[in-house]
Amino acid sequence: MTTETTRPGQPPDDTAAGHGHRHLGLALVLISAAQLMVVLDASVVNIALPRIQDDLAITDANLTWVVTSYAIAFGGLLLLGGRMGDVIGRRKIFMAGVLVFALASLFGGIAQTEWQLLAARALQGAGAAAASPTALALITTTFPAGPPRNRAFAVYAAMSGAGAAVGLILGGALTEVSWRWTMLINVPIGLFVAFLAPRFLAESKPQPGRWDLPGAVTATVGLVSLVYGFNHKAQVDPSTGAPATWTELLTLGPIVAGVLLLVAFFVIEARTPHALLPLRIVTDRTRAVSFVVMLIVGAAIFAMFLFLSLFIQDVMGYSPLRSGVAFLPFTVGIVVSAQVASALASRLDPRWIAGAGGLLSVVAMWGYGRLAADTTYASGLMPWIIVQSIGMGLIFVPLTLTAVSRVDQSDSGVGSAVLNTVQQVGGAIGIAVLGTVFANGITEKIAELSSGGGRPTPEQMALGERVAQAFGTTETFGVAVWMMVAATLITVVGLSIKHEDLATDGIPGIPGTDQSPEGTDAPASAR
C-alpha cells in the first residue's frame, strides 16, 4: 500500500518536476563523471610525485602532503558537505562542489611553489567533499527505485572502485607530458558537468532546520585530527629512515584529540533537534554493518593500490606509464563485475553477493602475499589483480545499496556522506597500519641479508633491496588477508536485509515509500 503525502499538483517526493526519464542516461553520465573525477584525483598524482618534487623542490618529508592534504580535507568535510546538500539543495551543492574542484585544479596546475600546490590540493578536497555525497544522493532523487536505480548504483560503484586504477593509468600517461596536466585535466570536465547539471539533474527541496554548528565543528575537526594522526604514523623520518611511532606527539596527540572530539560529536548529535548526523543513520543494523565493512574494505583497497604500485615500479622495474597500464585489468574487471552484481541485486540477498566478493578478495590478498623479487606480471600478479577486481565489484554494489537503504529522503545526502567518510578514513588507517608492517618487513629482511658479513657489490645491494621490498610487501598482504576475512564474516553474519526490500527501497513507516514492486518514491516525472 502506498502512503500519499503530497498535495494536488506537487511532485510526490522532494525532487523538482520536469526531469523526464528520457534524460536518465545523461543524468547518470554527469553524476558518474563527477564521481570519477573526485575518486580519480585521490590517486592520479601518485605516479607524478617524483616530477612534482623535482619541479617545486619539495623535500622528502613534505612530499606525501601532496596526497594527504587532499585526503584530510575530503574526509574531514564530507559530513558537512552531505548535510549542506540536504538543507540547501543537493543539485546546488553538487554544482558548487564541482566548480570549486575545477577551480582548485586550475590553481594546482599552475602552482609555482609548494604551499600553493598544497593549498590547491586541500581546496580540491573541500570541493570533493561537497560534490561526492550529493552525487550519490542525486541518484536516489533522480532514478526510480528498482532496476533503474540499481543499475545507476552499479555504475556509480564501478566509478568509485575503478577510479583509483584509472587514476594510475591516466597519471602515468599525463606525467609523460607534464605533471601539471594531472590536475588541469579536471578543469574542462568540471565545467562540463556544472554547465549541464541544471538541465538534466532534478533538484531536491531544501529541508527545514538550522545549521548544527557545534556538530559541524566537532565532526570536521575530529575527523581531520584523526586522519592527520594516522597519516603521520605512516610518515618516515628522513634522517633515520624509520617510520613514526605510535607514541610520538604528532601521532598520538591528534588521534586522541580526534577520538575525544568524535565522542563529543555523538553526544551533541543525540541532544540537538537539528543534528548534522541523525543517529538513526548509523544505529540501523544494515547501515551500521555496511559502514563497518566499507571501512575495512577501504583500508585494504587503498593499501593494495599503494603497495602494489611500489612493487611494480621498484621491484619489477616498470616505468610510471607501464605500471599504470598494469592495473588496466582491474578497471575492466570491476566494471564487468559491478554490472553482474547489479543484475544479481534483485535476485539474491546482498549478504551473499558481497560475501562472495569478500571471499574473492581474500584469495587475491593471499595471492599478493606470494609475490617475490623474481615475480613476473603475467603469471604472478595479473591473475590476482583480476580476482581482486571481480571481488571488489561484487562488494561495492550491494554495500552501496545497503549503506543508503531505508534512509529518509531528507537524510540521503548525509547518509551517503557517511559512506564516503568511512572509505576515506579507512584508507588512511589502512595505509598507516599496513605501512608500519611494510617498513618493519623491509628492515627485518635487510638486517637478515646483511648478517652474512662482507662488502656486497652494487649488483648484490640492488638485488637485496628488491628482495627486502618484496618481503615487506608479502608481510603487508599477510595482514591484509585477515582484514578481508573479517570484512567477509561481518558481511555474511551482519547483513540481514532481503533483496526484495533492497530492490524496491521500501521504507516501512516513512511517508512516500511502499513495498510494492513498482515503488512510488521516485520522481513523478521519472516514472
- 186-235 pLDDT, tens digit per residue, is 899 899 888 888 887 767 676 666 667 788 788 778 877 887 787 677 66
* Cβ 185 vs Cβ 250: under 8 Å: no
Q: Please compute the mean of the pLDDT values over residues 24-50 and round it to a whole number.
A: 78
Assess whether pLDDT exceeds 80 at residue 263. Answer: yes
pLDDT of residue 493: 92
Q: Is the pLDDT reported for residue 136 higher than 90?
A: no
* pLDDT number for residue 215: 83
Q: Judge whether 509 and 10 are in contact, CB under 8 Å.
A: no
Regarding predicted confidence, which is higher, 74 or 260? 260
Residues 40, 434, 320, 69, CA torsion sign: positive
In this predicted structure, the answer to whether residue 258 has a pLDDT above a threshold of 80 is yes
Q: pLDDT > 70: what percent of the chain?
A: 82
Residue 370 has pLDDT above 90, yes or no: yes
Residues above pLDDT 90, as percent of the chain: 24
Position 521 confidence tier, pLDDT thresholds 50, 70, 90: very low
State how far the Cα of 477 lies from the Cα of 434, in Å rounded to an integer. 8
Asked if residue 219 lies in contact with residue 49, where contact means CB atoms within 8 angstroms, the answer is: no
Between 187 and 40, the more confident residue is: 187
118 has pLDDT over 80: yes
Question: What is the pLDDT confidence band of residue 6, given thresholds at 50, 70 and 90?
Answer: very low
- Higher per-residue pLDDT: 20 or 298: 298
Whether the per-residue pLDDT at 508 is higher than 60: the answer is no
Position 424 pLDDT exceeds 90: no
Q: What is the rounded distance in angstroms from the CA atom of residue 47 to the CA atom of residue 323?
A: 9
Strands (E), 210-334: none
- In this prediction the pTM is 0.74
Name the residue among 135, 131, 142, 133 with its Cα closest to residue 14: 142
Q: What are phi and psi of 236, to 5 degrees?
A: -115, 135
Residue 509: band (very low, low, confident or very high) from pLDDT cuts 50, 70, 90: very low
The residue-averaged pLDDT of 470-487 equals 94
What CATH number has the domain spanning 21-507?
Answer: 1.20.1250.20
Comparing 227-241, 323-337, 382-396, 461-475, which segment has the lowest mean pLDDT? 227-241
Neighbours of 325 (CB within 10 A): 15
How confident is the model over 425-433, as a mean pLDDT?
Answer: 76
- The conformational region for residue 144 under phi > 0 = left, psi -120 to 50 = alpha, else beta, is beta
pLDDT in tens, 439-471: 778 878 887 887 766 677 777 788 888 898 899
Question: Is residue 438 pLDDT above 50, yes or no?
Answer: yes
Break the chain into its structural domains and give their ranges. 21-507
For residue 296, the model assigns a pLDDT of 93
More confident residue, 6 or 163: 163
Q: Which of 95, 97, 101 is nearest to 121 (CA)?
A: 101
CA dihedral 164, 165, 166, 169 (to 10 degrees): 120
Q: Report the candidate in 52, 217, 66, 190 with the shortest Cα–Cα distance to residue 128.
A: 190
Class of residue 245 by CB neighbours under 10 A (exposed 0-12, middle 13-18, buried 19+): exposed
The most confident of the ranges 463-467, 504-508, 509-513, 520-524 is 463-467
